[in-house]
Amino acid sequence: MAFTSADIRNTLKDFFGFDAFKGEQEEVIHSLLEGKDCFVLMPTGGGKSLCYQLPALMLDGVAVVISPLIALMKNQVDAIRGFVSGNESIAHFLNSSLNKAQIDEVKADLLSAKTKILYVAPESLTKAENVALLRQVKVSFYAVDEAHCISEWGHDFRPEYRRIRPIVDEIGKAPIIALTATATPKVQSDILKNLGIPDALVFKSSFNRPNLYYEVKDKVDAEKDIIRYIRLHPGTSGIIYCLSRRKVEEMAQFLQINGIRALPYHAGLDAKTRAENQDRFLMEDVDVIVATIAFGMGIDKPDIRFVIHYDIPKSVEGYYQETGRAGRDGLQGECITYYSYKDIQKLEKFMKGKPLAEQDITRQLLDEVVSYAESGQCRRKLLLGYFGEDYLKDNCGMCDNCLHPRTIFDGRAEMKLVIRLVLSLKEHFKIEHLAAILAGSETALVKSYNHDKNKYFAAGATHTEKFWAAVMHQGLIAHLLEKEIETYGLIYVTDLGRMFLDDPWPLNMVEDREFSGTGGGDDDEEEAAVSLAALRGGGGDEQLLALLKDLRKDMAHKLGLQPWILFQDPALDDMSIIYPITIEELKNCQGVGEGKAKKFGKPFVELIAKYVEENEISRPSDYVVKTPAGSNRKSKIISQIDRRISFDEVASAMDLSMEELYEEIESIVSSGTKLNLNYYINQEIEPDVTEELMDYFRNEASSDSLEEAISALGNDYTEDEIRLVRLKFLCEVAS
């Protein structure tokens, strides 16, 4: 079956309510629809789910989605069901949390081909009875979400993931799409090999998250600083990461005392409390969750507005995953990290007693964190560089270093010195060692290699080791130097670096920042907060937005769904800007399709209508359907009926009673205009009732008089039924 781009876009708009694809979603979807294996690398929040959810709806059969996150499957399924009204069978999940009756329901829906998407945990997929079940249904394709779990080199290895390929062969071959947010080359090749899809089309998108703001702060009075920050952003959701359970508890308590709705989350809490705290965060009973890194794996809350690292994370990769949980909906997220070198020293102490190879890796990862934190360069450039991606702009405008640029100097001479040193040594060494040589520091390692006798020893003694390390980090970003991956980061000079040495070009370098870890707060922070507020833009009606959020929360509670499943933040933002007061207008908001508007929209448009009236707000004219007089009113009605809008919506949009609307339509039709009312009649009236009534007008009625019809039929049919079918008769038969 061939699908056109229009088919795909219609599904995007009608089902998901989005106007445009994000990144490479459309290309991925096309390829999958054509039956090709796909490998999708997108950062967290990139929109991976849609890449399989959308084709699943279009293709024949059921898409089997393998995901490790049992706790979140229900959410995913709820989210899909949230887009359609009255079709719970469309999505299901199979995992160990289901009871017998629930499993039977899933089976029945699968066997009767009602289900388009089935989420399974890998351990459920490997169960014989499930394999047997899936052998009986048509599988459209397999989606392996969080595919890095296949690799021991990923950050979340799951042995059961290794069994996916053989199971797929057993159930029946179908295209495979693998998706992950982990980008290291080793993990990538493991995934392709293990899933047996060497020829998969690879879609690797940029890992840049333009809506995230990055900042590293001196860890001074951090607790107070955090309170101040949260008070500046009341009612928004955020995560605060601390490294120890004790600190998590302390911080949560400290926030609570200060009137902030916060809860702790760490592995030391019992499972029930943990689940409860997580739920209360997802349901917006609390604004802030204070957590160890255990929290957040796959958390799908799209409107997390800030991620604060009270303690420095242990690796840049971890930092990126954690900060990535902010702003999944594409609106601003702020990522703030408190840094003090003392914390690094503490972490180093924890390494003692671990195997040497592991210590070496840990040390290496910590060095990366330090150089990131202390760098004066654009944070975005640094982060993307870490994932092997070049960020080409000079100023991203969305990190502390770009908003408050550091001193820039031409580092040509310094870089040349570094390159000469590296080339002069027979073996390759790490950054710290090289920096010690240049700064003239007689460390044990330097002496053991006799590098204190090297001709470059102390050649850069006017600068500190830190300075030289920073020069080398910038050399890495500029691809003049490279790190050996296999050997934990020994430095070598690239071809570009050799060219630079022969004929150097100007090299803008940034001085590192000084972190005291003890000093007082400074005024810069206030300034940063102001410029961010300006960046945020927004422009909506904040008072209305707050009301809408409360309504969403209340409704979500009643329905037992997460608030964002009703409407996401961008949709509420739009509502607070364009003031939709009908279901039809509501569909103009981002992420609101037909199903969602019908299913959840009514209370929202009612609230907005009331708000608009009470505050005498004039709505943007595009969206206002003013009450027109005379023929203008009629033409409005005709155009709305042409657009197949239901009568009650037309009436409410035009401020007419149903009686008035019927009178208008009757007058339009009597004057000879034909309207196609079937869309509404088919929805309101049983087909045989329509037939019987048509029969009456055709064969029994002596005129088209409404009164006559009502007195003849009024006992058996409602007045609305009679009126509507009479109109149909007038349009189709009588004129």
Q: Is 29 in the site for ligand ADP (CB under 6 A)?
A: no
Q: Which of 109, 218, 329, 594 binds ligand ADP (CB under 6 A)?
A: 329
Least Cβ distance, residue 143 to Mg ion (angstroms): 10
Q: Is 44 in the site for ligand ADP (CB under 6 A)?
A: yes
CB atoms closer than 10 angstroms to residue 567: 30
Residue pair 540/568 in contact (Cβ under 8 Å)? The answer is no
What's the CA gap between 116 and 191, in Å, rounded?
25
Stretch of residues binding ligand ADP (CB under 6 A), selected from 48-56, 478-486, 532-540, 711-719: 48-56
Stretch of residues binding ligand ADP (CB under 6 A), selected from 41-49, 166-174, 275-283, 650-658: 41-49
Place of tokens 């010195």: 417
Q: Is 328 in the site for ligand ADP (CB under 6 A)?
A: yes
Size of the site for ligand ADP (CB under 6 A): 17
Burial class (CB in 10 A: 0-12, 13-18, 19+), 96: exposed
Closest CB to ligand ADP among residues 45, 385: 45
Strand partners, 119: 65, 93
What's the CA gap between 151 and 389, in Å, rounded?
22
Q: Is 18 in the site for ligand ADP (CB under 6 A)?
A: yes
Q: Is 39 in the site for ligand ADP (CB under 6 A)?
A: no
- Which is nearest to 525 in space by CA: 309, 220, 209? 220
Q: Which two tokens stand for residue 404?
A: 């408050």
The per-residue DSSP string of 348-383 comes to HHHHTTS-HHHHHHHHHHHHHHHHHHH--S-HHHHH
Least Cβ distance, residue 571 to ligand ADP (angstroms): 10
What's the CA gap between 402 and 377, in Å, rounded?
8
Q: Is 42 in the site for ligand ADP (CB under 6 A)?
A: yes
Q: What is the dihedral of CA 669, 675, 680, 684, to 10 degrees?
A: 40
Closest CB to ligand ADP among residues 42, 110: 42
What residues numbered 560-599 form the site for ligand ADP, per CB under 6 A?
568
Q: Which does 575 bind (CB under 5 to 8 A by kind): ligand ADP, Mg ion, none?
A: none
Cβ-closest position to Mg ion: 48
Q: Which does 562 bind (CB under 5 to 8 A by kind): ligand ADP, Mg ion, none?
A: none
Q: Is 82 in the site for ligand ADP (CB under 6 A)?
A: no
Stretch of residues binding ligand ADP (CB under 6 A), selected from 45-53, 253-261, 387-395, 538-546: 45-53
Q: Is 76 in the site for ligand ADP (CB under 6 A)?
A: no
- Which is nearest to 584 in space by CA: 540, 545, 612, 623? 623
Q: What is the dihedral of CA 87, 92, 98, 100, to 10 degrees?
A: 70
Closest CB to ligand ADP among residues 209, 728: 209
Q: Which two tokens stand for residue 181?
A: 């947010």
Closest CB to Mg ion among residues 48, 430: 48
Least Cβ distance, residue 64 to ligand ADP (angstroms): 17
Q: Is 69 in the site for ligand ADP (CB under 6 A)?
A: no
Least Cβ distance, residue 109 to Mg ion (angstroms): 24
Which are the contacts of 10, defined by CB distance < 8 A and separation ≥ 6? none
What residues numbered 46-65 form the site for Mg ion, per CB under 5 A?
48
Stretch of residues binding ligand ADP (CB under 6 A), selected from 46-54, 235-243, 252-260, 377-385: 46-54
Over its C-alpha atoms, the chain yields an Rg (Å, rounded) of 31
User: Can you give the binding site for ligand ADP, defined by CB under 6 A?
Assistant: 18, 21-22, 25, 42, 44-50, 300, 302, 328-329, 568
